[in-house]
A and B are shown apart, each in its own frame.
Chain A
Amino acid sequence: MSRILFKDYFGLAICIFMSTLLLFPDVPIWCFSLGILFWLWRLFCHFFDFTIPSRKITGFLSFLALAVILLDFRTLMGKEPAASFIIILSGLKALEFSDDTEKDFLVLLGFFLISSKFLFSYDLMYLILSLPIYAILTMNLFPHEWIKGSRTAALKYLGKVVLLAVPMAAAMFIMLPRITKTLLEIPTNSRYGSSGFSDTVSPGSISRLSQNNEVVMRVELFNNRFNLSDMYFSGLALEKSSQMNWTYLRNEDGIILSDSPSEVDYHVVLEPHYKNQAFSLKGTDRMSAEGLRIYHDFNYNFRFDTYLEKKAFIQASLAGARPKVSDVVISRNLTEPDFSSLPPEQQTQLQDLVKKIKSSGTSPELVSKTILNYFSSNRFSYTLNPGDQPQLSLYDFLFKYKKGYCEHYASAMAQLLRMSKIPARVIVGYHGGEFNPLGNFWTVRQKDAHAWVEFINSQNRWVSVDPVTVVAPQRIELGFNMYNSIVNDMLTEEEIKNKLNGTDTFSRLSMWFDSVNYRWSTFLLEYDFDKQKDILKRFNLSLGNALILVLVLLFAISVLINLFQRRGIKKNFSQLCFEEINRWATKFDLQKKETEGPATWQLRIASALPDKSKAFLPDLEKAFSLWINLAYKQTLSPSDSKRSLTEIRKIMKRG
């Protein structure tokens, strides 16, 4: 019994195990480990012929797991507790599996397991991985003896069923009303954000993301052409500082619900990051997303009304000039850092530097320029691996180490601006990305995370300035990916060219896949209820009519299948012939006896109807001989049988 799962249902076991593995990033590690532990337990039982635990034990364990999940998540609703419970339950079911009759339940759990992955990700890669799993799970619904005996026949049969099901599913997807609602009442406990940002930035916190290849968003630009160096996606404006650490400051800058853009300048497909930040290009004035509300403040910092738990399809528009900044914002961003804890000589050195900066001019633009010059002329260097230095002081960075990642320079520059009485803040977000010429979109990854500075210029408007442009201009001009390749991989000039043009096979392949993945995601996200209504409107169909149409279509398919089936069923021509002759005979009060053969019956008819039989006898004999042929000649083709039947009908009509 302990061997049945891996011996007879190996494919099923592998499928469910694979589905469990796919859910690894989405559930708490303890749930995942527990699920795997049950699988290992089962493997142990298999190899060492150990007794598998009884149902009472597995039942108790499942209740225990449910209780722990409830304690951990404080709810059983929501996708994470559900996925966690299914992982544990499928592990337990695999552990106790001892009978063919339990197979179906295991398959059902497998369906739920693999489908729950799509609650967390739309990624095409997962879908491709899940297709064979779905196929094997569905095949396991067939009787086991059949799969074992004729695997090829079963596979062909499955293929036919899938071929029939796919167009039907597509028709239902297009025609049936797919209303959706984000139930805010359902608590979500997503504690595992994929965005690298929190509300605080300290030296090292952004550079940590430089090795993270995870996709943050894909951006498609329409009207404006952007150079790589202009692609700044601002996420958070950090206004509270302490030395080199910057934190988000809660403010009263107003909460305005963003209007839908009248003309869409760019699309963003934002991956779920379990935060409420929306990333917008410089100069964005409107943003909207289906099923989500986006707010902005007076300074056009965009935020979602909820934590982003699923892919968001955002449409946005750009405006020319930015509005003027209010006095409250100015005074808030003038707060100077407190250096009282520094030794007096360090304080003096910093004040001297500020004086030096201000000496060339006090206008914000000039001060900013002077600071950039200071960075470029004092051997400041850019490093991809500065290490985690949350305690790094401004003095140490400016006078001791003189090297850092973007957040070091942004923090230092914003502090120097504030010390020069110019309101400034640090912006964190992403810069650049990878352009996909096949799909005409930009892919922004975690490693493109960036920090830069905004200061208020002489016209009281926020202006962006990036100190990295002077320290490592290639980082901004070529983007992080290329810069990293140049610095770390020591690429030759030709290799850099190839990489820039995307001509090597691997790059093209990866671009192609990324492009397909992007189209797939946008197709699914775009194809919502509104789009559906638009399409139906084009065909002059209301939702109710579409629903009726689908039902009629299903009914028609049903009838067609039945008709097609009936065509194949052989008619019992022999019986029809008998009925025909019998019907004729009853007119003369003659009935075939049960024990009578056709020949005797024919004789009896002939003797009972002497007047009629004289002329009719040859015909009657012919009819009987046709009937005998039909009844005993098994090889008679359907068309021949039909002909015989018609002949008999004619004869009987004459008679």
Chain B
Amino acid sequence: MEKKWLKKYLTALRFPSKWTPDLKAKVQKRPFIIPSRFGFYFGSGILVLLALAYTYANQLIYLIAFFYSSILFIAMHLTNNNIKSVEISEYFIRNFFQDESGSIKITLHNNHSKYYARFIQIEIVDFDLKTTIAEIPPNSFKTVELNFTQKNRGQFNYSKISLSSKFPFNLLYSWKRLSWGEKFYVYPAREGTQEPPYSSEDELSKKLDLTSAQLDSKSDNFLGHREYTQYDNYKRIDWKVFARKNKLFVKTFETESSRICFVDFLEFFKNMPDLEKRIKQLTKWIFEAQKWNTLFVIRNQDDEVTFLDDRKKYENVFEKLSTLSAKDFT
């Protein structure tokens, strides 16, 4: 019993610590440092001052040049250390639909016990996204969310992340990059104008040789009433409501089985000439079904019938659609 409780506790807590270091994530590399463009100008300025001191035998200019060399030297350490103590503690890209806004969540951790990390620039290299975190107090986390869109559906690798900083004097540029071995999906766009292929329970049970119980078994929690349509089983009409409102209403449940969408995969793709359009239309239907808790039934190439009745299955179908190509039909 105790263990069960602990297990629940452990699986629920995913942030900020992880049980194990993410095996796919490469070890965060040490920071590198080079002078920034302004740093080069500044360094050249020091050289000019030294040349002036030499030419005019001016000890004061020597002193000023040395002072600025010291500033440069200290800045080198400050910039390097500013990035050194910062680590990425979370990097997550949620799957999203093509042409829609997706989000990247990044959490940085300043694991130094004394110093602030300031003006840390996060760059998502492949997606050309940049943002700056002004300040991370010692021993703290800061989370940012970046939005971006993708024009193509498919499976993508998590982009490399670059953390960089020019703080404090903009004289040096220190950075570290790391790769993250995860992948994310960009689902096909939800587009299409066709009505969903609704079937009644009877029709479908005949077509797929299924019992009514199989189709009805998914109903559980009562959600509310909605108006009766021709696809609904007349058995589902709530006569009490009809008596009150003089209109036909049916009960809806968490998993709506009385109004069923059915797609025969092969047949569906055979009839529509444009593959992308077909995928987008199908995505829209599946998404709508998920949204309205309508049971969606798919018969795939191998005559297997899949009921999309939980979230994981929906996600699997979307992932499949993301990577679907003409080759899959040959």
Interface residues of A (CB under 8 A from B): 79, 104-105, 108, 111-112, 115, 118-119, 122, 127, 138, 141-143, 145-146, 149, 157, 161, 164-166, 168-169, 172-173, 176, 178-183, 186, 290-291, 309-310, 524-525, 527-528, 554, 557-558, 561-562, 565, 568-570, 572, 574-575, 578, 592, 594, 597-600, 603, 628, 631-632, 634, 638
Contacts and interface: CB of A to CB of B under 8 A. Distances in A.
B58 A119 contact: yes
Contacts of A141: 168-171
Contacts of B112: 565, 568-570
Interface in B16-32: 16-21, 23
A638 B139 CA distance: 12
Interface string B133-164: 01000110000000000000000000000000
Given A108-B42, A599-B3, A178 B62 contact: yes
B45, B48, B58: residue with the most chain A Cβ atoms closer than 10 Å = B58
B272 interface: no
A524 B74 CA distance: 25
A578 B21 contact: yes
A168 B76 CA distance: 14
A157 B168 contact: yes
A186 B77 CA distance: 39
What 6 pairs across the A-B complex have the smallest Cβ distances? A180-B57, A168-B70, A165-B70, A169-B67, A172-B66, A141-B169
B17 A161 contact: no
Interface string B169-190: 1110000000000000000000
Contacts of B18: 631
A598 B13 CA distance: 13
A309 B58 CA distance: 11
Contact of A597 (B11, B48, B114): B11
A179 B54 CA distance: 6
7 contacts: A524-B63, A565-B77, A565-B85, A570-B111, A599-B3, A599-B10, A628-B10
Contacts, number: 165
A600 B63 CA distance: 66
A159 to B, nearest CB: 13
B77 A561 contact: yes
Contacts of B55: 181-183, 186
Contacts of A631: 17-19
B300 interface: no
Contact of A143 (B11, B54, B119): B119
Nearest to A594: B23
Given A112-B45, A524-B63, A570-B112, 11 more contacts: A108-B38, A138-B169, A165-B74, A168-B70, A169-B66, A169-B69, A180-B54, A180-B59, A565-B112, A568-B113, A631-B18
Contact of B139 (A172, A570, A598): A570
Contacts of A176: 66
Contacts of B69: 169, 172
Contacts of B52: 79, 119
A111 B45 CA distance: 9
B42 A525 contact: no
A145 B134 contact: yes
Contacts of B48: 112
Nearest to B171: A141
A597 B7 CA distance: 7
A132 B216 CA distance: 82
A145 B118 CA distance: 11
Nearest to B119: A143
A556 B19 CA distance: 39
Which of B13, B56, B67, B167 has the largest count of A CB atoms less than 10 A from its CB?
B56
Given A118-B58, A173-B62, A104 B81 contact: no
A584 B13 CA distance: 26
A172 B70 contact: yes
Contacts of A166: 67, 70
Nearest to A570: B111
B45 A568 contact: no
B20 A578 contact: yes
Contacts of B16: 634
Contact of B111 (A179, A310, A569): A569
Given A108-B42, A119-B61, A146-B119, A554 B84 contact: no
B77 A558 contact: yes
Given A169-B66, A179-B54, A118 B169 contact: no
A599 B68 CA distance: 57
B115 interface: yes
A172 B56 CA distance: 19
Contacts of B42: 108
A574 B20 CA distance: 8
Given A569-B84, A570-B113, A598 B66 contact: no
Nearest to A292: B57
Contacts of B85: 565, 568-569
B70 A575 contact: no
Contacts of A183: 55
Contact of B54 (A173, A181, A594): A181
A592 B139 contact: no
Contacts of A554: 73
B38 to A, nearest CB: 5
Contact of B20 (A127, A592, A628): A592
Given A179-B54, A597-B10, A161 B111 contact: no
A268 B18 CA distance: 75
A149 B118 CA distance: 13
Contacts of A572: 111
Contact of B63 (A169, A310, A569, A599): A169
Contact of A181 (B11, B57, B111, B171): B57
Contact of B7 (A182, A310, A600): A600
B59 A108 contact: no
A524 B66 CA distance: 14
Contact of B167 (A143, A172, A524): A143
A142 B67 contact: no
B6 interface: yes
A558 B77 CA distance: 7
Interface in B55-111: 55-64, 66-71, 73-75, 77-78, 81, 84-85, 111
B41 interface: yes
A111 B16 CA distance: 46
A578 B168 CA distance: 37
B297 interface: no
Interface centre among A115, A157, A599 (most CB of B within 10 A): A115
A524 B59 contact: yes
A127 B74 CA distance: 23
A619 to B, nearest CB: 18
A115 B77 contact: no
Nearest to B50: A178
B49 A115 contact: yes
A568 B62 CA distance: 36
B168 A161 contact: yes
B53 interface: yes
A415 B78 CA distance: 74
Nearest to B41: A108
Nearest to B87: A572
A143 B21 CA distance: 35
Nearest to B75: A161
B19 A562 contact: no
A188 B178 CA distance: 56
Contact of A565 (B67, B81, B118): B81
B168 A115 contact: no
A180 B63 CA distance: 13
Contacts of B21: 575, 578
B291 to A, nearest CB: 30
B261 to A, nearest CB: 33
